[in-house]
Amino acid sequence: MAKIYKSEAGARAVAVRYREVLARWPVAHRHFLVPTRQGETFIVASGPEDAPPLLLFHGSSANAAMWMSDVAVWARDFRVYAVDMIGEPGLSAPSRPPLASDAHALWLDDVMRELGLAQTSVVGVSLGGWLALDYATRRPGRVVKLALLCPGGVGRQKNFLWKALPLLLLGDWGRRRLRQTILGRTPAATTPATRDFAQMMSLIFKFFRPRFETLPVFGDDALKRLAMPLLAIVGGRDVLLDSAETRRRLERNVARAEIHYLPDAGHYLRGQTERIHEFLRRAA
């Protein structure tokens, strides 16, 4: 873990807090690890075992806990698998194969095999949205529906690094300011669950080494392979990605795209649970 964390102690601190957060998962669930060519992958499963499957891919510098406010709704109608992405601050392997390769698609082939899934719907946010698109463009027959929140790999990735680096040098204050710049002002932590989550995210920003690899951009031909229904929700004030370009390219290249452009929203999009649920439940 030393490669993706600044120290082994920091890695342990994040893992301990993450497990405390997972203990507050809002619906009946189970945790398990599945073997893959990139190492073990951690998954939280919820919902009826005979319901249609739904994979969830979180964003960069996050883990499956980001879905805790959504899963109770989605698990009514789906067997939900919240996947800890490899190389991120969850409980999956710290492996980071190149994004500009088929390595992540092959990893997800392994995950799908271990879950016994021939097809699935997918929800992805930011880097997780890129991962969902990468898999769907390479394996279009295996993805039933795609729901994407501020997905990477479509619109231009903004040069945010020059703003981030000075803040990272300013200790806890700088890290808090950076989180606020990316995610916007977050509501006060008023419950044990939200306090645990906020403390976990603070530890992640303190000890985790985020990816600075530029996300590969999907060409028009790749996007045209997306024949499944696709929902994309993007924020006009996203500091990381060009949402206007994301909207234009999806409208131009994806025949069954439904796009919601929120002009006053940033990179972190709150309150989209029901919109995504309605889309997923709709006949394909």
Domain holding 99: CATH number?
3.40.50.1820
CB burial readout 176-186, b (16+ within 10 A) else e: eebbebbbbee
Find the domain containing 210 and state its range: 8-281
Tell me, yes or no, whether 1 lies in a domain: no
Taking Cα atoms as reference points, which of 62, 25, 66 lies closest to residue 47? Answer: 25
Is residue 3 situated within a structural domain?
A: no
DSSP at 157: B
Q: Region 221-231: what's the mean pLDDT?
A: 98
Q: Is residue 171 part of a domain?
A: yes
CA 213/CA 244 separation, integer angstroms: 22
Specify if 2 maps to a domain.
Answer: no
Q: How high is the pLDDT of residue 158?
A: 83
Provide the pLDDT for residue 1.
47
Residue 259 structure tokens: 């796009």
Our count of domains for the chain comes to 1
* The model's pTM: 0.91
b (16+ CB within 10 A) / e for 208-234? beeeeeebbbbeeebbeebebbbbbbb
CA dist 101 → 34, 133, 212, 256, 270 (Å): 22, 13, 16, 26, 31
Whether residue 180 has pLDDT greater than 60: no
Q: In Å, what is the CA distance from 4 to each residue of 23, 66, 94, 150, 249?
A: 24, 19, 7, 24, 33
How far apart CA 262 and CA 137 sit, in angstroms, is: 25
Q: Poorest-confidence range of 61-70, 81-90, 185-194, 258-267?
A: 185-194
